Structure 1
């Protein structure tokens, strides 16, 4: 099924054991351990999120990757944006994507997002308890981008007006992002893959014009931290919990937001003058990773998600043309963040069906409607 919007789902290539996680978190660790250990923290809290159609899969299996791509394609997803981890020449969680690249399967479009935070024990990219840290240099910039040329040359790689699409999660951590962008572009042109289409994720700084750092566009990250803070429940009895007549201690130790409030807050922001791509999330709940200070979005439903995505698709169709009609979905399979459109035992394929419905409706709806 195709639409005139290219919906790209962020994809976590984690679900397989690696030596680093064996060392840091225990032998055989994958995100599934966090997922299955999650428990409701207050009445009505949806946990654990358990997979349905694909089960507790291992991404080393090509059959799993094929099934994911088939499912995504059938529900209007144009491609996956794989998180990519590079630490001064050291890769981690690279096996699933390497096998996608080397095997040519699945035959499904993809791009990469460099998740350039430190890896820490706190799971938040902070600067304490560092397990694997970033050390930036322009020599490393060149080595990094050269390592990606085989991916950029792949015919499945997503391009914008002929240019490979490459995202960076936190450009604010780069000492000189403009020079990094120059190095990357020059290397890509020399290698014959053409100029790059560089996009910064604006989770941590929304007002930076990408042109000032040598980038082409920004993409918002949903859920946005500022929107979450603004819409967080504070004092009094939240409606979500008042239905159950209780505020639990676990509730007060975490940060709870209504899905409708989050969507409304993000949709209400004016679009900037520069190129800016919209992003939606089906749901969010990282309490599987954090028992305290988690962000928990409550009351999400497939219909509410469909309305948000449909509005964003219509805005995108009205604002952009051709290859720049891009919408991002966070995420395909972030199970430990309660953030996935892959089928679960509660909703089945309802979020996938909502995705297709939203994209088809958004492509025929006027942007202001």
Structure 2
């Protein structure tokens, strides 16, 4: 049985850091409600339907999310985890879940190990909070994580807690970091760690080469491959005019919008990779979050999503993996126009599509 894992953003509650950086009471909803269409036919803003503008500090909101996820066959959530040398951010939703036995949906964690910058207003070079890597911090970090791993709801593979790194390229020595983590997890009584990373154009290698057990396809990958070419967003910014005709990329008022179904077709052309779980996105549009150079997958529909999902179900080599995870990006990335949660336009249609194909 395929186990859909929906990536979960815990940004929807105020914290003192965001108050300082963006203004009192800022949450992801602040960006969402300000968004406007940037070209004719552009679906913006993405506004929540069934769950409303929730606050993730409230158990009632989290319980509603889990109820809907279970109703439509989502196996578990993958929570983004924010750690900066012992300083944590956006931890309250998951920490409060751990204290409430009624929130019983399985979960895993993905360390979003990036610097925090002013990306949302176009000032990507202005760092608000930086990542500093060291083996001492690796040790402190894994010892903190073990308390989550011990929870019965934490997703494990053959008894091994699943943990994911978002961008491993930033580590000075990821192999040694993984070794430290494996040793500590074993000391805590687990058989090992089942560790992976989000695979995209900047991390396009076999997981075992860096000491990982697996990767998963992070969608959208912002790349389109042919036999001779790999194009990512940084390339497109430099040579966008020359590639527009070749890739079918449409440019309007300096904003990228790329047809969702054409993107799906190009992804289907790619072969699945060994030890890499499949990934999918129902839609993508980060123009609510990015004022400059957003990337928009235009004209997504539940039927097109079903078509892609059916291809994955029928063609991925499920029996070659120790588990049957399918990573869906995302459950609630509202400011990236990327969500399974019901919206005013589509209601529960994407959730219904997921259940229909996978169950």
Task: Compute the TM-score of the two structures, normalised by the length of structure 2.
Answer: 0.91
Structure 2: distance between partners of 1:129 and 1:204: 24
Task: Compute the TM-score of the two structures, normalised by the length of structure 1.
Answer: 0.89
Change (3 A) 1:264 1:124: farther
Structure with the bigger percentage of strand: 2
Q: CA deviation at 1:283?
A: 0.3
Structure 1: distance between partners of 2:5 and 2:322: 12
1:197 aligns with 2:194: yes
Structure 2: distance between partners of 1:180 and 1:192: 19
Partner of 2:276: 276
Q: CA deviation at 1:83?
A: 0.2
Structure 2: distance between partners of 1:283 and 1:209: 27
**3-state SS of 1:184 partner:** helix
**3-state SS of 2:303 partner:** helix
Structure 2: distance between partners of 1:124 and 1:198: 34
Partner of 1:14: 11
Whether the 8 Å CA contact 2:4–2:328 is kept in 1: the answer is: yes
Partner of 1:306: 306
Q: CA deviation at 1:95?
A: 0.5
Count of matched residue positions in the alignment of Structure 1 and Structure 2:
346
**3-state SS of 1:225 partner:** coil
Show CA shifts across 1:206-248 (max 9, x none).
4322112111011111000223957988557x9998xxxxx8x
Structure 2: distance between partners of 1:255 and 1:335: 19
Structure 1: distance between partners of 2:200 and 2:276: 12
Partner of 1:244: none
Change (3 A) 1:28 1:306: same
Whether the 8 Å CA contact 2:249–2:258 is kept in 1: the answer is: no
Q: CA deviation at 1:188?
A: 0.3
Structure 2: distance between partners of 1:240 and 1:173: 30
Change (3 A) 1:174 1:105: farther
Whether the 8 Å CA contact 1:118–1:126 is kept in 2: the answer is: no
Structure 2: distance between partners of 1:38 and 1:180: 40
- CA RMSD in angstroms comes to 2.3
Structure 2: distance between partners of 1:125 and 1:139: 34
Unaligned runs of 5+ in 2: 226-230
Whether the 8 Å CA contact 2:121–2:291 is kept in 1: the answer is: no
Show CA shifts across 1:182-224 (max 9, x none).
0000000001133010011112434322112111011111000
Structure 2: distance between partners of 1:102 and 1:204: 38
Structure 2: distance between partners of 1:211 and 1:191: 24
Unaligned runs of 5+ in 1: 242-246, 361-369
Change (3 A) 1:63 1:157: same
Structure 1: distance between partners of 2:159 and 2:205: 25
> Which of 100, 103, 110 in structure 2 is aligned with 1:103?
100
Structure 2: distance between partners of 1:199 and 1:358: 26
Structure 2: distance between partners of 1:33 and 1:257: 26
Whether the 8 Å CA contact 1:116–1:169 is kept in 2: the answer is: yes
